[in-house]
Structure 1
C-alpha cells in the first residue's frame, strides 16, 4: 500500500489527532520533511507526527520502532525520536501513524558534520551504546547484515549503473574494496542491536557535529559491521580512524573489512538515489550524492591499508 501526497494534509492529521489524541489536536502543525518511507510533520515545539506514504513496508517499520525504541532510547547518548503514541488505521487514514519526540538540528545530507574529532567521538559513543546484545525475538535484518558474499549481485548491478552514468571514476577500485570485505571472516559474536539505516538523511547535526539520529524503522539485530560502515559516509575526511579509536569494544580487523564492504553498498545506493536520472521515488534528494561520492573516494583511498 502506498499513499499519495494529496492523502496527507494538515486537515487529515488534525482529524486523526482529534479522533485518537485530542489532547494534541490543537498544537501548531507544519510539514517537516517528505522522507523515503514517511512524511514528518512537526507538532508543537517538542513532538512530531510520522505518516507512511511512499512505500508499503513503512507500516511495519513504524510498528517495529514503536515496539523497540522506547526501551533503547534512554541508553543512547544522542537525541532520538522517542515514540509516544502509535495511531491505528481508521476510515480517515487507513495506515498506522506515529507520534514521537522532535529531534532538533539539520539533516547531515544538508549540513554535513565538519568538526572531525567531535563528530567521530559522537558517532562512536552512539554506536557503542546501541550495539548491545539483542534479546531473543529481536527483529532480523531482512536483506541487511548477512554474509557480504550474498550481496554480489547487488554490488554488480549498482556498480554497473553508477559507472554507466559516469558517477564513479574508478569502478575497479570500488570493486576491490568490496571483494576484500566479502572475503573477510564473518561475525562470530552475539547479534547486537543495529540502527540499520545510518545514511546522512537519518543523522542530525548541530554546530558541525552529530547531535541526533532519526528513523529507527530498520532496527534489527546482527553484525556490528553493518552500522560501522556509516563512519565512511557520515564523517568528514580524516575522521574514520578517530571513530575506530573511540568505538568500544575495539572492532577487529575482519569487522572493519566487512564494514568497508557495507559502506560501498550504502554509497552506491545513495549515489543512485541522489541522481535525478535514476531516482523514481519520493524522498530521494540530490543532497545524497555528494556524501556518497566522498565515501567512495575515502574507501578506495583506504585500499593501501588492506
Structure 2
C-alpha cells in the first residue's frame, strides 16, 4: 500500500506561477522565467524556476510549519556552511499564504547536480571530507527558540517504543539476521552515554537523497524541513546511510576529534533506526527501500 501521504490540494503550474508573479519581487523577472515540476516528496512539491531557482511548497497542512522553520533559520546556517563549499537552500523569497494557497512557501537556490540516492556508494567517497566539514560547521549550539522536532535528535530512549514497533512490523518480511543486527545495534546505542552538551543545530533528515553532487564534488545539502537542535549523532548516522566502508572511514577520520566515541555509538544506532523506518515505510518507493536494505548491510561492515 502507498506510504507517501496524499497531497491535500492540487499544486498546479498555474497556481505556482500565480504565487511567483504576486510575491517574487526579489527575483528579477521571476514571473516570466520557465517553470517545471521536479518532484513531490512526503512534505513538499518542488518546481524549478528558470535556471537558478526552485519553488518549494508544502503539500499538506502538517508540512506547512517545516517551510516556516527553513525560512526562519537557514540564512545563518547557509552562511556558516558556505565557507566549506557546501551549499544550503536558504530561501530568497519567503512566500506567504494568499487566497489560492493557505500556507507559507519559498523560493530557494537551485543546485545543479544529481541527488546522491542515484549514485553508487563506491562513488561517494569524495564527498566524505566536505560533508564532515559541513556538519562540523552546522553542529554549533542553537538558541533556545530553535524549531522543535519531537523525533529528530532526541535521546534514543524517546524513540525506543517506535523502533520496537518497526522491528515487530518487519518480522517475517525481511531477514531475521538483519533484524537481529539492527536490534543489537539499537540496544548498544541505548546503553551509550547520552548527549549532555547544549543542543546543536542538526539537519534532521540526512541521507543520500538530500545530498546533491556534481561529478565527484559535493555541491549542497538540501531539504532542511526537519531542522532542529539536539544530539548530532542523528546526523552522523549518514556515515552508514550514505557511504561504503572506504567512504565511511574517510568521513569519520575527517571529523577528527569533534565527536566522542559515545556519539558515534549513538549514530550507529540511529542508522539502524532510520534503516528500519525506511524499510517499513517505502512500499511505494523502491529507491528508499533499496537504500534501507543497503544500510542494514553497511551497519556490520
- What is aligned with 2:170? 162
Q: Distance in 2 between matches of 1:89 and 1:32?
A: 22
Q: Is the 8 A contact 2:152 2:226 kept in 1?
A: no
Q: Is the 8 A contact 2:279 2:289 kept in 1?
A: yes
What count of residue pairs does the alignment treat as equivalent?
291
Q: Distance in 2 between matches of 1:86 and 1:264?
A: 36
**Larger mean Cα displacement after TM superposition, 114-123 or 55-64:** 114-123
Superposed displacement of residue 185, structure 1? 0.5
Q: Distance in 1 between matches of 2:103 and 2:176?
A: 39
Identify unmatched segments of 5+ residues in structure 2: none
- Write the deviation string for residues 156-190 of structure 1: whole angstroms up to 9, x where unpaired: 11122223322664321211111000000001222
Secondary structure, in 3 states, of the residue corresponding to 2:275?
helix
1:266 aligns with 2:271: no
Secondary structure, in 3 states, of the residue corresponding to 2:152?
coil
TM-score, normalised by the number of residues in structure 2: 0.90
Identify unmatched segments of 5+ residues in structure 1: 277-284, 302-306
Q: Is the 8 A contact 2:188 2:265 kept in 1?
A: yes
Q: Distance in 1 between matches of 2:229 and 2:156?
A: 16
- What is aligned with 1:51? 57
1:13 aligns with 2:16: yes
**Larger mean Cα displacement after TM superposition, 223-232 or 243-252:** 243-252
- What is aligned with 1:293? 293
Q: Distance in 1 between matches of 2:18 and 2:175?
A: 45
- What is aligned with 1:138? 146
The verdict on how the C-alpha distance between 1:163 and 1:260 changes in structure 2, with shifts beyond 3 A counting, is same
TM-score, normalised by the number of residues in structure 1: 0.89
**How do 1:175-194 and structure 2 match up within 5 A?**
175-194=183-202
Secondary structure, in 3 states, of the residue corresponding to 2:92?
strand
C-alpha root-mean-square deviation of aligned residues, in Å? 1.9
Q: Runs of at least 4 residues of structure 1 off by over 6 A?
A: none
Secondary structure, in 3 states, of the residue corresponding to 2:164?
helix
The verdict on how the C-alpha distance between 1:208 and 1:286 changes in structure 2, with shifts beyond 3 A counting, is farther
2:212 is aligned, of 204, 214, 219, to 204
Q: Is the 8 A contact 1:62 1:98 kept in 2?
A: yes
Q: Distance in 2 between matches of 1:161 and 1:218?
A: 25
Q: Is the 8 A contact 2:129 2:250 kept in 1?
A: yes
Q: Is the 8 A contact 1:271 1:293 kept in 2?
A: yes
Superposed displacement of residue 272, structure 1? 2.5
- What is aligned with 1:224? 232
Q: Distance in 1 between matches of 2:120 and 2:109?
A: 23
Q: Is the 8 A contact 1:48 1:101 kept in 2?
A: yes
